[in-house]
Structure 1
Amino acid sequence: MLYKQPRPDDVLVAHGRATQPALPRRFTVCVWNWQKSKQKGWADEFAKISQAADLFLAQEVRRSPAVRGVMEAAPYHWSGAVSFFSLKGQNPVGVATGCTAEPLKVSFKRGAREPVLQVPKMTLSTLIPLQHSAPLLVINIHAINFTGLKPFESNLRRAAELLLDFDGPVLLGGDFNSWNARRRRLLQSTARAAGLTEVVFDPDRRTRCLGRPVDYLFVRGLKVLAAGVRATEGSDHNPLLARLEAR
Structure 2
Amino acid sequence: MLYSKPRSCDVLVEHGRATQSALPRRFTVCVWNWQKSKQKEWASEFSRLAQAADLFLAQEVRRSPAVKEVMEKTAYHWNGAVSFFSLKGKNPIGVATGCIANPLQVSFAATSREPVFRIPKMTLATLIPIQNAKRPLLVVNLHAINFTGIRAFEKNLRGAAEILLDYNGPILLGGDFNSWNHKRLRLLHCIIRSAGLQEVPFEPDLRSRWMGKPLDYLFVRGLKVLASGVRVTRGSDHNPLLARLEIR
Which residue in the other structure is 1:145 paired with?
146
1:167 offset after TM fit, Å?
A: 0.9
1:216 offset after TM fit, Å?
A: 0.2
Q: Following the alignment from structure 1 to structure 2, what is the Cα–Cα distance between the partners of residues 173 and 232? A: 19
Which residue in the other structure is 1:171 paired with?
172
Deviates most, 152-161 or 37-46: 37-46
Structure 2 unaligned residues grouped into runs of 5+: none
1:37 offset after TM fit, Å?
A: 3.5
Q: In structure 1, the residue corresponding to 2:165 is in which secondary structure? A: coil
Structure 1 unaligned residues grouped into runs of 5+: none
1:3 offset after TM fit, Å?
A: 1.8
Q: In structure 2, the residue corresponding to 1:174 is in which secondary structure? A: strand
Q: Following the alignment from structure 2 to structure 1, what is the Cα–Cα distance between the partners of residues 24 and 112? A: 35
Which residue in the other structure is 1:79 paired with?
79
Q: TM-score, normalised by structure 2?
A: 0.98
Does the Cα contact within 8 Å between 2:36 and 2:237 map onto a contact in 1? no
**What letter matches 2:183 in structure 1?**
R
1:166 offset after TM fit, Å?
A: 1.1
Q: Following the alignment from structure 1 to structure 2, what is the Cα–Cα distance between the partners of residues 233 and 39? A: 10
Does the Cα contact within 8 Å between 1:37 and 1:67 map onto a contact in 2? no
Does the Cα contact within 8 Å between 1:143 and 1:152 map onto a contact in 2? yes
Deviation sequence 1:59-86 (CA, Å, 0-9, x none): 0001100000000000000000000001
Q: TM-score, normalised by structure 1?
A: 0.98
The equivalences for 1:111-190 within 5 A come to 111-133=111-133, 134-190=135-191
Q: In structure 1, the residue corresponding to 2:110 is in which secondary structure? A: strand
Deviation sequence 1:45-100 (CA, Å, 0-9, x none): 00000010000000000110000000000000000000000121010000000000
Q: How many residues align?
A: 247
Which residue in the other structure is 1:199 paired with?
200
